[in-house]
Structure 1
Amino acid sequence: MTLVRVKGFKIFKDRHGKTRCYHRATGHKIDIEKSPIGSAEFFAECETIRAIADAQKAKAPKAGTLGALFQTYFQTEHFQNLAEATRRDYRKCADFLEPIKGTPIHVIDTPLIAGVHDKAAKKIGWRRANMVRTLLSEVFRYNIPKGLISANFAKDVIPKRRPRDRAYANRPWTIEERDTVLGNAKPHVRVALALMMNTGLDPSDALRLRNDQVDGGTIWGVRGKTGEEVAIPVSPTLKAALDRMPKHEAETVLSNSRGEAWTYNGFSTVWHRFKIKLEEEGLIAPGLTLKGLRHTVATTLREAGLDERRIADLLGQKTPSMARHYSRSANLAEKNRETMAALEKENERRAKIVKPSPKSVKPDQNEDQT
């Protein structure tokens, strides 16, 4: 038998006597049965694997560059423990910075990062530009202890301010808007909105809330964004809304019309269509968002005279602490019970002042399949 040798590949017999071949650098295997050693197909497969390996090598960031810092940061435990949405946003920011990833570390300084920040604001807007700045700050911060960069050159870059003519992204809802939306919403949508309105939960956290997280008149949850535990008492208004919810078999508190757990994209699509319809009918003003309900709770409580610390406790805005025990959450739940009572009282007061128009309330309908 002719001995065949190909640079970069190992050809050998395994313990069963079967001939095998793989690329040393990447570990990519060649199917000997489909491409017998020495055949044209075999050599073509070797060239393909070699070309892919060369392309990957050329694409990999060089040591001592901004791209290498990104690569190191994305492998840290800190990045891996971030919420999925945050990781996705950071990856998008890194893609935006792709053209300058070859920048040598020794030329990076605060003026350079400030210039990048300014250019980002012009290309992708002030909000995304600030996220680019935040990512760079995190990348530098976690690479300093590794000795890969000397300082956090993004720390002193001033964040961009919201333009004066820019509308409030997640403005609070008015009492009229709240009553109109609930009055026109179909059952499965109405209860989801009621849950967000009466807890301040992020939409994604509300949709993921499981039945076993509601116990003893309290919602025991964890904020998906920060990992912070929350203990939210179920107010009388929320309990009444949950009691009216159509029966279903999903493990989540909320479900769609098929009795299945909502997906975030699924609910967002249904909400968007519903909202646009109300806008076209002139029943609500533009600008309502699901996250605006979280702002509504915070604003209502602030206007009711509660301090920022109590509001932050209810919304889970403390510094994350995974070592917190259930007893501490129980104490927090008791304090939040007073906070929720204040929210309930303030909403009732506002409802007495503003009476919803009868034409904005429609009778229940059977919900379409979503």
Structure 2
Amino acid sequence: MTQIRVKGFKIFKDRHGKPRCYHRETGHKIDLAQSPIGSAEFFAECETIRSIAEAQKAKAPKAGTLGGLIHSYFATEHFQNLAEATRRDYRKCADFLEPIKGTPIHVIDTPLIAGVHDKAAKKIGWRRANMVRTLLSEVFRYNIPKGLISANFAKDVIPKRRPRDRAYANRPWTIEERDIALGKAKPHVRVALALMMNTGLDPSDALRLRKDQVDGGTIWGVRGKTGEEVAIPVSPTLLAALDRMPDHNAETVLSNSRGEAWTYNGFSTVWHRFKSALENEGLIEKGLTLKGLRHTVATTLREAGLDERRIADLLGQKTPSMARHYSRSANLAEKNRETMATLEKENERRAKIVKPSPESVKPDQSEDEI
């Protein structure tokens, strides 16, 4: 009986005496029932697997290139511990750099990276270009200790400035816009907006907030983007909003209409549909974002006279001059209680100055539309 051998493949019999075959490098198995050993179908399958493996190998970043450095950074613990949204944005930046991934390390310098930065600004905009610069800076920084590159050639590249004619990104909401949104939103959306309005939590952190993180009248958590601890007192306004929330069994504070935890994409879709409807009715101006609610809290407190350090403590923002330890969260709770009281009073004061007409805040009657 002739023994068939194919380079790169292992052909054998298992402990039950049944013939098996797989590609050594990739582990891809061949279904010998459909492609018997020695048949034309068998050799065709082997050739297909080999071609796919070679194509994938050619596509993989090579050592000693920019692509290799990026691949090395993506494997670091630092990258794996970044917020999901940040990892997603960095991968998009890597996609932009795909055409030059084969650039040898020895030709990389600051002028080259500055040129890449300029080209990115023209193609994908100033904000994304700055993100590309940030990614490259992190890639170089984490590969220097490995001896893979000599310096951080992105560090001295000057970030692009926001064009003067660009609108305020994530602008603060007005009192009228907050009242209209709360009045028009369905219960599950309304309580989510109220949570962001009365805490300054980032939308992703608000949607992930678990019930067990609310204890003793305080929200205890960690900001996903920075890893900073936050201790946010639950104000009377927020408590009233939470009490009106429909019952659900999700482990998160917020839930969708099915009683399940919101996904970020799910809430974003509902929010966009809801916001567009309000814009079409002329009830709100364009430019409202969920992140803008975080800016609203910061702006309100700043205008009320609070210093930036106290506002940063409430929002879980990190500063180079002050590193805070986990145990300090307990101390933050009392200080933030005073901060939250200021926010509550300021919102009440502004609401008395400008009150929307009753017609503009009537809840919708339909339960199927946002």
Whether contact under 8 Å (1:108, 1:153) holds in the other structure is: yes
If the length of structure 1 is used for normalisation, what is the TM-score? 0.94
Structure 2 residue runs of 5 or longer lacking an equivalent are none
- 8 Å contact from structure 1 (residues 113, 153) kept in 2: yes
Change (3 A) 1:323 1:163: closer
Deviations 1:322-350 (A, max 9, x none): 99887432221111111111111111121
Q: Using the TM superposition, give the Cα deviation of residue 13 of structure 1 relative to its aligned residue in structure 2, in angstroms.
A: 3.1
* Partner Cα separation in structure 2 for residue 59 and residue 212 of structure 1: 46
* Structure 1 residues 60-100: Cα deviation after superposition (integer angstroms, max 9, x where no partner): 22221111111111111111111111111111111111111
CA distance 1:12–1:364, change in 2 (3 Å): closer
Q: Are the aligned partners of 1:231 and 1:333 in contact in 2 as well (CA < 8 Å)? A: yes
Give the stretch that moved more between structures: 13-22 or 167-176. Answer: 13-22
User: How far has the Cα of 1:273 moved from its partner?
Assistant: 2.1
Question: After alignment, is 108-117 or 17-26 more displaced?
Answer: 17-26
1:60 matched to which residue of 2?
60
SS in 2 for 1:251: coil
Q: Which residue is 2:31 aligned to?
A: 31
Alpha carbons of structure 1 residues 263 and 25: separation in structure 2 relative to 1, 3 Å: closer
* Distance in 2 separating the partners of 1:280 and 1:61: 48
Contact 1:188 1:246 in 2 (8 A): yes
> Counterparts in 2 of 1:168-317, with a 5 A limit?
168-317=168-317
Whole-angstrom CA distance in 1 between matches of 2:33 and 2:3: 17
Aligned-partner Cα distance in 2 for 1:365–1:53: 58
How much has 1:166 moved relative to structure 2?
A: 0.2
Determine the C-alpha separation between the residues in 2 that align with 1:178 and 1:73.
42
How far apart are the structure 2 equivalents of 1:321 and 1:159?
22
Further displaced range: 235-244 or 326-335: 326-335
CA contact (8 A) 2:172 2:296 kept: yes
Check whether the contact 2:22–2:29 (CA below 8 A) recurs between aligned residues: yes
SS in 2 for 1:335: helix
C-alpha deviation, 1:321, in angstroms: 15
Alpha-carbon separation, structure 2, partners of 1:22 and 1:224? 43
* Worse overlay, 142-151 or 241-250: 241-250
Which 10-residue stretch deviates more, 79-88 or 113-122?
Answer: 79-88
Q: Is the partner of 1:12 in helix, strand or coil? A: strand
Q: Does residue 151 of the first structure (1) align with residue 151 of the second (2)?
A: yes
8 Å contact kept, 2:185–2:363: no
Structure 1 residues 211 and 366, CA gap change in structure 2 (3 angstroms): farther
How far off is 1:305 after superposition? 1.3
Gapped runs of 5+ residues in structure 1?
none
Deviation at 1:110, TM superposition (A): 0.4
Change (3 A) 1:369 1:173: closer
1:277-309 CA deviation, whole Å, 9 max, x = no partner? 222222211111111000000111111111111
- Deviations along 1:3-31, one digit per CA (max 9) or x if unpaired, are 11111222233344333222222222223
Inter-CA distance 189–107: structure 2 relative to 1 (3 Å threshold): same
Aligned residues: 370
CA distance in 2, matches of 1:322, 1:79: 24
Change (3 A) 1:111 1:273: same
CA RMSD of aligned residues (A): 2.3
Q: Give 3-state SS (helix, strand or coil) of 2:188's partner.
A: helix
Structure 1 window deviating more from structure 2 (312-321 vs 27-36): it is: 312-321
Judge conservation of contact 1:279–1:285 (CA < 8 Å) in 2.
yes
Between the aligned partners of 1:11 and 1:278, the Cα distance in structure 2 is: 65
Q: Distance in 1 between matches of 2:199 and 2:73?
A: 35
